[in-house]
Structure 1
Amino acid sequence: MSGFPWLTTLWAAPLVGAAIVLVLPAARRTLARGVALSFSLVALIVGVGLAVGFDPGGAQYQFIESHRWIPAFGAGYTLGLDGIALVLVLLTAGLVPLLMLAGWHDEREVGSGKRVAHTYVALTLLVEAMVLISFVALDILLFYVFFEAMLIPMYFLIGGFGPRTGDVQLRQQRSRAAVKFLLYNLFGGLVMLAAVIGLYVLTARQGLGEGSLGTFDFRAVMAAANAGQLGAGPAVLNALFLGFMFAFAVKAPLWPLHTWLPDAAVAATPSSAVLMMAVVDKVGTFGMLRYCLPLFPDASGTYAPLVVTLAVIGIIYGALLAIGQTDVMRLIAYTSISHFGFIILGIFAMTSQGQTGATLYMVNHGISTAALFLVAGFLVSRRGTRLIADFGGVQKVAPVLAGSFFIAGLATLSLPGLAPFVSEFLVLVGTFSRYQLAAVVATGALVLAALYVLWLYQRMMTGPVKAGSERIHDLVPRELTVVIPLIAALLFLGVYPKILTDFINPAVSHTLTTIGRTDPAPSTPPLPEAGSAEHPGGAHK
């Protein structure tokens, strides 16, 4: 596969698809949706091809593309793929076609304009393109540009394409949620921009670029950082780390920077909410692994206890608030805050099990959240309400829908045999070897998760059929086409995660080697000496 610009093709396919959709005649709504779906499938095919051609035992970064971009700044169009980015590319490319199908008729709910369907699917493709290039960028400035740019189409998906309603207050809430999402993430991005500029200045002073210029080449900066050649003291490097980390913690999100997420999730259509939580937010946790740790290894170690503490708080906080929700969609949004806490906990445990589990968790969370949120969205669209108390007895009138909801819920609580269990177990094991108390407290969230998932299912799906629930019909073929692959992925990865960990493990090992971290040696009590009280017969041997 060498020689062909596969990574450019990967992210350009949805971008070209968005452009074509926008020039189609306004009356061709079905064609617009079909074109968008086709180009999202092209990205998926390219992603699968990259996985087939990727050599886990080969170079750290593969399918390299490098061209001059802004020579005056030392910035280049440099792309490359490692195992961590690869599995996230597969997650993104795999989910977007399903989201297209799930939201096939969303324009009926989001508005009545002539080009609503065109704009809606084009914005979705734009988000996909920007997320994909963020995962494969090996130039820090290139990454930053698309890290920020993806906020714009996502803002319009939240604020302009939420469920249509005649309630002025609900429309205002949707607008506020979109603005809150944008302001939080833009502010985080501006803080990161200051850190990016500061890092560039350091590289220029050390002559890492051409002539007197600095460089944004991630590999060159990483090598200099780990060789101690950035020419900056701990205070400066700590400040730069915090600049990157703040932006990623807002996008992930990490407690207490999470407050924009529940509002944005319930304001958007279910497909857009899944795009945000399962795909866009993963750029934040990916950034922690890709940039925070390798570029600032000492600062990462300095602040790891603080980040671990905040992650554990987020795990418990998200689970507790999920229990108290009366809105099913807001409940699921709060579970994501808890799950992002697990991902960040695994990253900053800085162990091989923890980081492998965190990367796998990114994928598994994306699949399980997509399954649960989309099935809940199908349910809400049938009943016309998000209030849990308005449902009851759904399993009697829509057994397949209820069963799909149940399996997705069990995955959310990390039931053994389903994909999230493996990743959560690895995170907890990896964390316990370095932060025992944090791992023990985080384990308590397993009980809370069982409580909010099973109680939710009991209230909505069991018991007598409540008034209004009798008109809920079961999943139709289009919806089954969305749900079956998600459920199948949860089952398959629950019993055979090796298909992904084979890609993840070498990349994690490289990261830990780069930052000079090794797994803590297991502590075992010394063996009693022969002839001691424990071995009274030893003296006679």
Structure 2
Amino acid sequence: MELGSITLTLALPLFGALVLAFVADDPRVVRIVGLVASAAAFVASLLILVDFDLANPALQLEERVNWIPAIGADFALAVDGVSLALILLTTFLVPLILIASFDSVKVNLKGYVAAFLALETAVLGVFAATDLLLFAVFFEFTLIPMYFIIGIWGGAKRKYAAVKFFLYTTLGGLLMLVAILYLYAQAGSFDYQAIRAVELTANEQYWLFAAFLLAFAIKVPIFPVHTWLPDAHTEAPTGGSVFLAGVLLKMGTFGLLRYALPLFPQATIDWAPALLVVSVVGILYGSVVALMQKDIKRLIAYSSVAHMGFVVLGTFALNATATTASVVQMVNHGLSTGALFLLIGFLYERRHTRQIAAFGGLAKRVPIMAGLWLLVSMSSLALPGLNGFVGEFPILLGTFQTARWAGVLAAFGAVLAALYLLWAYQRMFHGPLVGADNEHTTDLKPREIGVLAPLVVLIVGIGVYPQPLFDLVEPAVDRVLTEVGVADAPAVEPAAAVSEE
């Protein structure tokens, strides 16, 4: 079968990274190559969307060539609504990350851009692979460029954070690889469809589910295997933090939906109550710890633990409304938290501190930054009319239908989000303007506004009219829930969910 737009989307960033190896170490040339390669990948991903059948819940647009014939491994790619939504999010964010990084990265810009382009290809491969060995290769390869992005261009404790990130995620990935090899022994193939057809005993499902769950739980990350994330976020450069929050964490929640749920349905049903408990604990724990942070970047890092807890909660509510909204919330979190990390990076470039106490009254000096910061914070705390609401509220609604206690307790996480986000905003941007550093802080430049503008458009656009995003992901989610054996309740339409509020 011929390779098509999916392979093209994966290949373009990698090709850009290879081109950088042969061009002069000239910042202007590096910027052009990086932007052209990442923008071309975004255009190629739009071609996938054009060919995609929204009404078809199955994996589509399959591309397959022999990769390792001796063991039956193919270079096999395909997309459904869930993976396509995350592919579009990835290719959308990377050009913005590169533009935002061009002035802040002072050392080895060529290596930085090449690492990001290679990382983009690896993540796109995770979302598109339908051969489990290929998936494992892409899943593990993402560690290498991100390790260097944190370890070379990060903060003062970058080496510690990079090693911690690498060790945590490698452990989970190795256990998942063992589980994949066991499935291969049963199916005689690494093909996703062939492995889905394998009949596994309940005991086999439990052990295999546990191996996959650990790999994905670390990547999400789910409490209590989350401790690598605050360090990685705090020490990563701005672009690294945006990519971590916007895309890399979604590999875990995507893996749960693509692999853990449909391959091990009985284990999924049996483990779901425990995972609802873990999700609620993660939401409340991440929110409370975020309230205590003095570093604004670390605060947003812990908020990611809480927000991704909502995604896992919706996934294991095993309810069409909640699980569909959990995928929507993956996209929403990538946009909102990505924008927050960009704003933190822009402020850090001006002040070289992230301590909340060092700021105060900044709205008087940087009104554009203050306005955008408030808008994005409101999105992150799920204000109606913005994108966070149309993901988070249906998650709570669907969870309440299947596990009332979990929905009630998780709702307190939304209240705590308002506390830590608005309190931090109030301390940084309102009150008296004290100190020469605050007095001389400059507002956003046109380039920085241009980077944030597309994110703001989507934050508002999805909040006002989320139906296209729901239409994209809902059929694939319904298919997964049918395979698990729990697809009885129809999804609540987003408009209906909002009217309930």
**TM-score bracket for the superposition, by shorter chain length:** over 0.9
Look up the match of 2:143: 151
Alignment-mate amino acid for residue 75 of structure 1: A
Alignment-mate amino acid for residue 254 of structure 1: I
SS of the aligned residue for 2:383 comes to coil
Look up the match of 2:245: 277
TM-score if structure 1 supplies the norm length?
0.89
Q: Is the 8 A contact 2:3 2:64 kept in 1?
A: no
Structure 1: runs of 5+ lacking an equivalent: 164-169, 204-213, 523-541
Q: Counterparts of 1:172-251 in structure 2 under 5 Å?
A: 173-203=157-187, 214-222=188-196, 224-225=197-198, 230=199, 232-251=200-219
Look up the match of 2:269: 301
Q: Does 1:48 align with 2:22?
A: no
SS of the aligned residue for 1:414 comes to coil
Task: Select which of 127, 138, 143 maps to 1:135.
Answer: 127
Aligned equivalents of 1:520 and 1:476: distance in 2?
49
Q: Is the 8 A contact 1:433 1:520 kept in 2?
A: no
Look up the match of 2:329: 361
Look up the match of 1:327: 295
Aligned equivalents of 1:374 and 1:202: distance in 2?
46
Look up the match of 1:417: 385
Deviations 1:35-59 (A, max 9, x none): 1111100010011121122111236
Q: Counterparts of 1:470-489 in structure 2 under 5 Å?
A: 470-489=439-458
Look up the match of 1:107: 105
Look up the match of 1:209: none
Structure 2: runs of 5+ lacking an equivalent: 492-501
Aligned equivalents of 2:173 and 2:480: distance in 1?
24
The 1:78/1:451 distance shift into structure 2, 3 A limit, reads same
In terms of Rg, which structure is larger?
A: 1
Look up the match of 1:494: 463
**What percentage of aligned pairs have identical amino acids?**
44
Task: Select which of 482, 485, 495 maps to 1:516.
Answer: 485
Alignment-mate amino acid for residue 401 of structure 2: S
Aligned equivalents of 2:205 and 2:337: distance in 1?
36
Alignment-mate amino acid for residue 60 of structure 1: A
Q: Is the 8 A contact 1:392 1:463 kept in 2?
A: yes
SS of the aligned residue for 1:386 comes to coil
Alignment-mate amino acid for residue 70 of structure 2: A
Look up the match of 2:494: none
Deviation at 1:475, TM superposition (A): 0.7
Look up the match of 2:475: 506
Deviation at 1:520, TM superposition (A): 5.1
Alignment-mate amino acid for residue 32 of structure 2: G
Deviation at 1:3, TM superposition (A): 5.8
Q: Is the 8 A contact 1:390 1:466 kept in 2?
A: no
Q: Does 1:316 align with 2:284?
A: yes
**RMSD value over aligned CA atoms?**
1.4
Deviations 1:433-488 (A, max 9, x none): 11110110000011101101110111000011121111211110110111111111
Aligned equivalents of 2:266 and 2:173: distance in 1?
23
Q: Is the 8 A contact 2:34 2:117 kept in 1?
A: yes
Q: Is the 8 A contact 2:57 2:476 kept in 1?
A: no
Deviations 1:297-337 (A, max 9, x none): 00111111111111110000010011000000000000000
Look up the match of 1:530: none
Q: Is the 8 A contact 2:90 2:247 kept in 1?
A: yes
Task: Select which of 228, 233, 256 maps to 2:224.
Answer: 256
TM-score if structure 2 supplies the norm length?
0.96
Look up the match of 1:525: none
Deviations 1:153-198 (A, max 9, x none): 00000011114xxxxxx3xx22111100000000111111111111
Aligned equivalents of 1:68 and 1:52: distance in 2?
27
Deviations 1:118-162 (A, max 9, x none): 000000011100000110111111001110011010000001111
Aligned equivalents of 1:252 and 1:4: distance in 2?
31
Q: Does 1:426 align with 2:394?
A: yes
